[in-house]
């Protein structure tokens, strides 16, 4: 019946990866906290969390594993619940989705996979600890450090449509990002070119100021962009989460992704990504 892929976490990114694996011919088993996942026909779904590890039945025949599950204050929930079982399973390929947030703030400078991690946010420190736990697990994981994720239903277009978009201008601030479908394509590329223990930055080719995305989204929708808000004004009203978002400023290099994985991005920049989302949502 073909190879079987175990995907911990059928959230926004996990669902896209799962569908891409199905299209490639994999049998996919995935997890959610509830044990349910609507809109994923043909995917076997199990409940899994710290208190409910997967039974042997769910692991039978699995040859590849990817975790998209975020860490928490107690550590990595997948390793804590399933580490010994995964070690006994000895899958041929293991992946873990991390974040470029582990690099911290570089004042707009470039970072690559050799840049020492220096996370500034608690959530990024937890993610680095989870990365290190996977690396120490003996499973030989492929570590994918993801930039800001966007895609259908989760982009600047939806923010503009909803009237929640804010065009905050912090001089010199840039962000790297990645379309969710390109994340899935990178996972498939890694399956074709396994290199246990390697780390890859997953981001597009165009680090850009966040206000530029909002303006471009508004132009695609044919509406006026929201007014620019100077950083000094915005900083007094932003939530702690949003302030943390602006605390790190860096450009993420993706040369290794292109060369080692042989990956050509479907959406090399936000203009291409947003245009595709807008076209797909037209009546």
pLDDT tens-digit readout, 57-70: 999 999 999 999 99
Note the pLDDT tens digit of each residue in 203-228.
Answer: 999 999 999 999 999 999 999 999 99
Q: Which residues make beta-bridge pairs with 8?
A: 31, 67
pLDDT for res 283: 66
DSSP 160-187: HHHT---EEE-TT--B-EEEHHHHHHHH
Which tokens belong to 190? Answer: 């890694």
Q: In angstroms, rounded to a whole number, what is the distance separating the alpha carbons of residues 45 and 157?
A: 31
Would 32 be classed as within a structural domain? yes
pLDDT for res 1: 40
Q: How many CA atoms lie within 13 A of 232 on its CB side?
A: 0
Prediction pTM value? 0.96
Q: In angstroms, rounded to a whole number, what is the distance separating the alpha carbons of residues 198 and 243?
A: 32
Q: In angstroms, rounded to a whole number, what is the distance separating the alpha carbons of residues 144 and 149?
A: 13
Note the pLDDT tens digit of each residue in 155-192.
Answer: 999 999 999 999 999 999 999 999 999 999 999 999 99
pLDDT for res 278: 96
Which tokens belong to 172? Answer: 């010199």
Q: In angstroms, rounded to a whole number, what is the distance separating the alpha carbons of residues 238 and 140?
A: 40
Q: How many CA atoms lie within 13 A of 93 on its CB side?
A: 17
Distances (CA, A) of 267 to 108, 122, 160, 179: 22, 30, 20, 7
pLDDT for res 241: 84
Q: Which band of pLDDT confidence, cut at 50, 70 and 90, is reported for residue 2?
A: low
Residue with tokens 């100021």: 209
Q: In angstroms, rounded to a whole number, what is the distance separating the alpha carbons of residues 113 and 145?
A: 9
Would 244 be classed as within a structural domain? no
Would 198 be classed as within a structural domain? yes
* Number of domains observed in the structure of the chain: 1
Which tokens belong to 127? Answer: 């993610």
Note the pLDDT tens digit of each residue in 115-163.
Answer: 999 999 999 999 999 999 999 999 999 999 999 999 999 999 999 999 9
Percent of the chain past pLDDT 70, that is, above it, reads: 99
Q: Residue 89: is its pLDDT beyond 90?
A: yes
Would 210 be classed as within a structural domain? no
Would 245 be classed as within a structural domain? no
Would 91 be classed as within a structural domain? yes
Range of the domain at 121: 4-149+178-203+253-266
Would 216 be classed as within a structural domain? no
Q: Residue 27: is its pLDDT beyond 50?
A: yes
Q: Residue 282: is its pLDDT beyond 80?
A: no
Identify the CATH number of the domain in which residue 71 sits.
3.40.50.720
Which tokens belong to 57? Answer: 């039945």
- When the pLDDT of each residue in the chain is averaged and rounded to a whole number, the result is 95
Would 26 be classed as within a structural domain? yes
């Amino acid at each position: 019946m073909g190879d079987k892929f175990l995907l911990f976490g059928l959230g926004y990114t996990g669902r896209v990866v799962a569908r891409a694996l199905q299209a490639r011919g994999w049998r996919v088993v995935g997890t959610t906290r509830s044990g349910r996942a609507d809109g994923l026909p043909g995917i076997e779904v199990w409940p899994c969390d710290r208190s409910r590890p997967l039974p042997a039945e769910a692991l039978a025949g699995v040859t590849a594993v990817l975790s998209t599950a975020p860490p928490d204050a107690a550590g990595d929930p997948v390793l804590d619940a399933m580490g010994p079982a995964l070690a006994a399973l000895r899958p041929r390929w293991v992946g873990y989705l991390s974040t470029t947030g582990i690099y911290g703030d570089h004042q707009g400078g470039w970072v690559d996979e050799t840049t020492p991690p220096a996370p500034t946010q608690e959530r990024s420190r937890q993610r680095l600890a989870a990365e290190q736990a996977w690396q120490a697990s003996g499973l030989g994981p492929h570590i994918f450090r993801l930039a800001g994720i966007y895609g259908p239903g989760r982009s600047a277009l939806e923010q503009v449509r909803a009237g929640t978009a804010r065009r905050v201008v912090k001089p010199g601030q840039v962000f790297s990002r990645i379309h969710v479908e390109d994340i899935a394509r990178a996972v498939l590329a890694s399956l074709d070119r396994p290199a246990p223990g390697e780390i890859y930055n997953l981001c597009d080719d165009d680090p850009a100021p966040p206000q530029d995305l909002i303006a471009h989204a508004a132009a695609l929708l044919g509406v006026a962009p929201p007014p620019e808000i100077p950083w000094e004004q915005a900083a007094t009203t932003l939530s702690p989460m949003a302030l943390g978002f602006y605390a790190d400023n860096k450009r993420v290099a993706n040369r290794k992704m292109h060369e080692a994985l042989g990956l050509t991005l479907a959406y090399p920049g936000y203009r291409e990504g947003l245009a595709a989302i807008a076209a797909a949502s037209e009546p």
